[in-house]
Chains A and B, each alone.
Chain A
Amino acid sequence: MADARPKRRTWEVVSERLIEFAIRVCGISAVLFVFGIFFFVFREGAPFLFGGLNLGQFLFSTEWYPTSHSNVRYGVGALIVGTFSVTALAMAIAVPFGLGAAIFVSEFCGKRTRESLKIIIELLAAIPSVVWGFIGISVMNPLIQDVFHAPVGLNVLNGAILLALMSVPIMVSIGEDALKAVPDTYREAALALGATRWQTVYRVLLPAAKSGLLAAVLLGVGRAVGETMAVLMATGHAVNIPKSLFDPVRTLTATIAAELGEASVGSDHYRVLFIIGILLFTITFIVNLSADLVVRGIRRRN
């Protein structure tokens, strides 16, 4: 009886291994999905991307005539500008509201207000985007025409307001998490130094939660760039470089949604729509990567 340790039964060992394996698969499945999606999108787009597409014209021309009989032109310049103008305006509206709400929920309001506010904000996140689009067409459209005397109610402003409303809930919940993650000792120390609440937030909490708040904003940006249905319905869907907030535009995502269903499989038009998909992929990749780098930079300095 040298080995007094109780022996485990075989099935226990096996099941533990199995569960460990299953969890491992779950962990790396996201990687598989991302690469799988990228592979399929790239496979559909690649034959035309490397065989015939004039990349300069594609990126910078504003002439989008994929079904022309006389002169087919694939230029997504106006669509890129459309996407960025709607996103930028949406962020200009959403960032102050979203971060403001996060600060209020996390630092200023009482427990009961906080709980009810959080529930309502999460409800806001649960509204499907097609319903937002519907609101854009039936409520915002006449409202913008009446208030701003805009010739068209479906425009950059309409789309941006909807996108802002859609990305605020994400910013609030992630921003609040980031502020909550700041140790209470910071707050106590600030209080001990005689700082007011506002000074505590502005001088202590915001710098300490910087990277989390930045992540909140960038997730909002990601949501805004990728959103399709609401902008398809609310921005007016016109290939156009906007000169004012009240011009209709068209975004990259909306173009794919509107045209892919009717492009015949394997045609140049079909492949160009997938190349737009690759472009969107690249844009979100750059956004995420720069966010990562910025966050890392902040960490190192601290």
Chain B
Amino acid sequence: MRTKLISTLLIGIASIGIAFVSCKKKEEAPAPGSAAPPPPPAAAKKETVQNIGSDTMVNLAQAWAEEYAKIDPNVSVEVSGGGSGVGIAALINGTADVANASRKLEPEEVEKAKAAHGGKEPQEFMVGYDGLAIYVHKANPLEEITMEDLGEIYREGGKTEKWAQVGVKSIPGAKDGNIIRVSRQNNSGTYHYFRETVVGKKSDFKSGSMDMNGSKEVVELVAKTPGAIGYAGLGYATGEVKILKVSKKKGEPAIKPANATVLDKTYPISRPMFMYTPGEPSPGVKKYLEWIMTDAGQKIVEQSGYVPLAKK
């Protein structure tokens, strides 16, 4: 009897929950994207900018939004993450005014966006650079690694399985000497970029890597796992992990990821970060994007651990 009672209660609660969610959706439905909502009578016109996308850029976008709220109180920027793919999907279906992406739009995505927005081509704004750092556990004695070794570690069919193969004799806490690969979920912009630059354009990742749902999770897992190696944006570095220097080939100097080395492209794993708008941005959005390019906006890029655009 008792369990029956509990289950009826549960079903009741669940159905109320479902009803609530669907009501909420209906409420939100009539205001897609930048379509002007009915202006509130008394208050000044306040513009809300939906800014969705790259997980790598989410902290940065949040910092921009907070700073910009002080400068222009009439524009409120709402930032959410989820990944470059989520941001671009939101750009196409009109729920995002600005999409953050840590990769360029693919041609078919441009076509889809054009089709969805009456032939208007999405506008691209480069807002900074990100150096993709290679993280290992603090106890790992390794200091530098070559792009070839990274490829052999991560590539499907790659031969490097043990730390000994890259010259590490032993790591305290990781007796078996296996390299534990930490990677990202297969739709993340970082995953795609790493595959293209390190693993190989025509190749895939080796199966069996631990696929985390965010850059922060990658760094946290590496910090707790002595035998691990992982990749994530430079902005996610903490005192708990070690960043490796990377060299293009064996014999060439290994480069530490830093502002200067990312800008002059001597650090081999760095990429530009973009913001996209569907068609011409509205005046409010345009002002926001212009502010991001100013010294004040670019200073935040640097403070968040990324690399600002080169000064013109």
Contact = CB atoms under 8 A, between A and B. Distances in A.
A67 B186 CA distance: 6
A151 B207 contact: no
Contacts of A78: 207
Contacts of B195: 69
Interface stretch (A87-95, A198-206, A258-266, A287-295): A258-266
Interface string B83-105: 10110010000000000000000
Nearest to A65: B204
If over half of A's interface residues share one DSSP class (helix, strand or loop), that class is named, otherwise mixed; here it is loop
Contacts of B173: 145
Contacts of A149: 175
Nearest to A73: B204
Contact of A259 (B3, B82, B185, B209): B185
A98 interface: no
A177 B3 contact: yes
A83 interface: no
Contacts of A71: 204
Interface string B203-235: 111011111110000000100111110000000
A151 B222 CA distance: 11
Contacts of B224: 141-142, 145, 153
A66 B221 contact: no
B252 interface: no
A64 interface: yes
Contact of A151 (B82, B174, B187): B174
Contacts of B180: 151-152
Contacts of B205: 65
A167 interface: no
Given A153-B225, A174-B3, A67 B187 contact: yes
Interface string A133-158: 00000000110010001011110000
Given A63-B207, A64-B207, A154 B185 contact: no
Interface residues of B, number: 38
A226 to B, nearest CB: 15
Nearest to A66: B186
Nearest to A239: B207
Most chain A CB atoms below 10 A, which of B86, B175, B187: B187
A240 B211 CA distance: 11
A236 interface: yes
A29 B82 CA distance: 35
A248 B209 CA distance: 9
A238 B208 contact: yes
A177 B3 CA distance: 9
A145 B224 CA distance: 9
B176 interface: yes
Contacts of B201: 69-70
Given A262-B82, A262-B185, A151 B211 contact: no
Chain A interface residue count: which class? 35 or more
B211 A238 contact: yes
Interface string A185-211: 000000000000000000000000000
Contacts of A236: 210
Contact of A262 (B83, B175, B225): B83
Given A177-B3, A263-B187, A248 B210 contact: yes
Most chain B CB atoms below 10 A, which of A67, A173, A250, A259: A67
B93 to A, nearest CB: 9
B202 interface: yes
Contacts of B176: 151
A177 B227 CA distance: 48
Contact of B209 (A173, A238, A258): A238
B204 A151 contact: no
A246 to B, nearest CB: 10
B178 interface: yes
B210 A262 contact: no
A177 B191 CA distance: 50
A78 B201 CA distance: 25
Contact of B221 (A64, A69, A154, A250): A154
Interface in B234-251: none
Contacts of B188: 262
Nearest to B175: A149
B312 interface: no
A237 interface: yes
Most chain A CB atoms below 10 A, which of B2, B188, B226: B2
Contacts of A70: 201-204
Interface in A41-78: 62-71, 78
Contacts of A142: 224
Contacts of B85: 262, 264
Most chain B CB atoms below 10 A, which of A70, A78, A259, A264: A264
11 contacts: A69-B202, A70-B204, A145-B173, A145-B225, A151-B225, A152-B180, A152-B225, A153-B224, A177-B2, A238-B208, A248-B208
Going nearest first, the 5 A-B pairs with the smallest beta carbon separation are A262-B187, A240-B208, A262-B85, A67-B186, A238-B210
